[in-house]
Each structure stands twice: as C-alpha cells, then as structure tokens.
Amino acid sequence: MHKTAVRSTIAVGMVFAAGIALAGCASASPGSSAAPTAAAGAVDLSGVCPATVTIQTDWNPEADHGHLYQLLGPNPVINADKKSVSGDLFASGKSTGVKVEIRSGGPAIGFSTVSSELYKDKGITLGYVSTDEAVQLSASLPTTAVFAENDISPQMIMWDPATYPKVKTIKDLAATLKANGGVVRYFQGAAYMGYLQGSGILPAAQTDGAYDGSPAKFVTAKGKDGQQGFATAEPYIYQNEVSAWGKPLSFQLIHDTGYPIYPEAMSVRSADLSKLSPCLKKLVPVLQQADVDYISKPATTNKLVADLVMAFNNGWVYSEKVADFGVSQMKKLKIASNGSNAYVGDFDETRVQKVIDIDTPLFTASGSAPKAGLKPADLFTNEFLDKTIGF
C-alpha cells in the first residue's frame, strides 16, 4: 500500500476502543461457478471484459471503497482467507454478464503498493493507485488512471480544538506545536509529509514519523500533539469509539494545503490500456454510476462492508456507523463530487501536473526518480468517461 495512504489500525488490541467487537464472521454465500448472463436491457460486459474483472484495493473494506462493493450482485462469495469478495458484476441492479472480484489491500498484500501487485499478478484488471504513487513508480511500474473514484483525498492532519481553539489550519498548528513542544505523528515515508515539510507548512521539527496506527500516543498526549488521519473515519471513531478520548477533533485536509492528488484512482498497467480499451469503454461508465448510486443510497453496501470486515478478521475494526459517517463526510467535504464539471470521475491536467512538479524532486532525492519527462497524459486518461453521469 502506498505510504501516503496508510490507514490507521485503530483499536487493534487497544483498551481505548469501545463498542466494537469481532463477534463473528459473515457467512460465505455459496454463489455459482457458472458464467452470469447479462440481464435484458443491461450493460453487457461479456465478450469485451475479462470473465472476472479483478480489482485490487489499497486497504481493508471501508466506505471510501463503497462504489466497488456497490457492483456486487446478490449472494456475493466471501473468501476470508484471501480477504476478497466476488460475485456477479451488477450495474444499476442488473447483471452485466461478467463477475467481479474485489481484493483487499494493506495487510492482505503485506502493505505492498497496488502498483507492484498489478505487475506481480497480471490477472488483476484494475487497481487503486493514487496520483503520487503513479508519479513515484512511473519509471518502473507505469500505470494509467481511468476513473477518479473520489475527487479529493480525505487524508488530513487532526488536532484537539479544546487544547488549540485558535488553530484553523495545519500551518497554524505547526506554530502552536512549536510553542508547546508538541508534534504531528505520521507514518514515516509519506510523500505528502515531504511536501508539508519542504514548503514550510509543517516543519520537520514539529513532526514525528513513528506513528503506528493506534490512538495510544494521541490520547496519552492529552491534546498536545496532532496526528495524521482520514476525515472519513477518525473524527467519528475518536469521538464515539475511542472511549479514552470521546470528544470532537478539528482537522484540515492535506488537499487544502496545496497537495491535490487523486486518491485511489482506478488504474491499469499502462501497456495494457489499448488491449483493455473495449472493456473500459463500457466498464468505466458502470463504475461512475456505481459511485453515484452508492453515495445516494449507501445503507445496503455499508452493511456488506461491515460484514466483510468481520469475516476477514485481520485486526481492522470498522462498523456500519463509521461507514455511514464516511459517506456523510464524502458529501459534506466534496470528497465525492463532480469536481469542476457536471460528471464524476475525471482528472484535471493542471492538478496532475502540480503533483508531478511537487513530487519529482522529493522522489528523486529519495532514490526513486519518476520517469524522465513525465507528463500528465502519461498518468491518466478521461477518454472512457460518460459525461452524462454525475452527482
């Protein structure tokens, strides 16, 4: 999994977590090995797409990935050992004539990048690759994004508003932390942190790369420190499920500091783009509609997400209530939105160029230089999007 998007493993063995229990497993439905048939009047993906469209995510099931689980038809088959779920691929309630398999990332793939998984297993059709990961690995593991599942990243820096009532931004927080001896904890190696440090928004002296995903140090600091997180999860979890904290958090999105990556963009191996184009021409609009349908009516899919988390039972704790909160935040913060036009899922060339400009010197200095002469067109295409599908 890309280090800029490492998720918190909140409540893994922590006494701070309350109200959540891995009480059992979602039962694996028997399913059918027979190839599905496209329903009358439905989008027919058979013949142009693989018999099973395999999608690699970068983390455990969560609301941020809800648009994928929205694709699953009735009676999905849960593979708890492989941390995956599969079933007939549905579009707006109708079978498309192919199956879909959704694989978890993060601990399920040894915290590897999705880019490396795409090249390790050529059976994977699409994978989640954030813009900065695509830039970093453009020379060695080139990928092309075809659908932006969210317009902006939910990644954030959070702090205690009771301790720092005047802090409104990460830059404000940095100055206050310096005066109070506090730090912002984050996962070491995160590209966005290189940007925040290098731009002077959050000097290195006010950071600590030893974050381990648990709430322990943040709680113990009693509000003195800040921490990385995701606006779609931690604000709810810390207030409602981390009993030793139990109060609101304030935060600023990394996006709003000037680091405009597209998170978890659905991407293919660049060399396979031409071969997959007939499939993508039909599949990408299905992905767009699934995104719209999920954000509009998330309840059924959120239950499935919570069931999958229990079935996989790998230490990740995530409830339906957190998923519901995640959807509300995606709406409120315009994480899931049409962006600057009337349709969902497109990439803006200027934004991608800005990420290239920011990250190229950072990655070059760290020994993973991007492709020489890298251009936005190397990293994405909007050619498969249906401009009539939007929020």
| 179: pLDDT strictly greater than 50 | yes
| 224: pLDDT strictly greater than 90 | yes
Determine the Cα–Cα distance for residues 161 and 167; give it in Å rounded to an integer: 7
Confidence of residue 10 (pLDDT cuts 50, 70, 90): very low
Q: What φ, ψ does residue 380 adopt, rounded to 5°?
A: -155, 165
Q: In what order do the strands lie in the sheet with 77-79?
A: 77-79, 84-91, 94-103, 52-56, 126-129, 265-269, 143-147
pLDDT at 39: 75
pLDDT at 40: 66
| 2: pLDDT strictly greater than 70 | no
| 291: pLDDT strictly greater than 80 | yes
> Residue for token digits 């970093």?
136
Residue 11: half-sphere exposure toward Cβ, Cα within 13 Å: 22
| 20: pLDDT strictly greater than 60 | no
Domains delineated in the chain: 3-7+26-152+261-318+334-378 (3.40.190.10), 155-257 (3.40.190)
> Which segments of 121-190 does DSSP mark as H helices, in order?
131-136, 170-180
Q: Please report the sign of the dihedral spanned by the C-alpha atoms of residue 325, residue 103, residue 60, residue 285.
A: negative
Per-residue pLDDT reduced to its tens digit, 78-101: 999 999 999 999 999 999 999 999
Per-residue pLDDT reduced to its tens digit, 339-378: 999 999 999 999 999 999 999 999 999 999 999 999 999 9
- H or E segment to which residue 89 belongs: strand 84-91
Cα-based distances in Å from 70 to 226, 247, 379: 34, 32, 26
pLDDT at 296: 97
Confidence of residue 21 (pLDDT cuts 50, 70, 90): very low
Determine the Cα–Cα distance for residues 203 and 222; give it in Å rounded to an integer: 22
Confidence of residue 27 (pLDDT cuts 50, 70, 90): very low
- Average pLDDT of the chain to the nearest whole number: 91
| 17: pLDDT strictly greater than 80 | no
| 9: pLDDT strictly greater than 70 | no
> Which segments of the chain does DSSP mark as H helices, in order?
66-69, 114-120, 131-136, 170-180, 191-198, 216-220, 234-240, 273-296, 299-312, 320-332, 349-365
pLDDT at 33: 55
pLDDT at 36: 85
- H or E segment to which residue 54 belongs: strand 52-56
Residue 212 and residue 220 in contact, taking contact as beta carbons nearer than 8 Å: no
Side chain identity, residue 118? L
> Residue for token digits 């999958």?
308
φ/ψ bin of 223: left (φ > 0), alpha (ψ from -120 to 50), beta (otherwise): left
Confidence of residue 38 (pLDDT cuts 50, 70, 90): confident
pLDDT at 213: 86
Give the mean model confidence (pLDDT) for residues 2-19. Answer: 40
| 19: pLDDT strictly greater than 90 | no
pLDDT at 49: 98
pLDDT at 23: 31
pLDDT at 7: 55
Give the length of the chain: 391
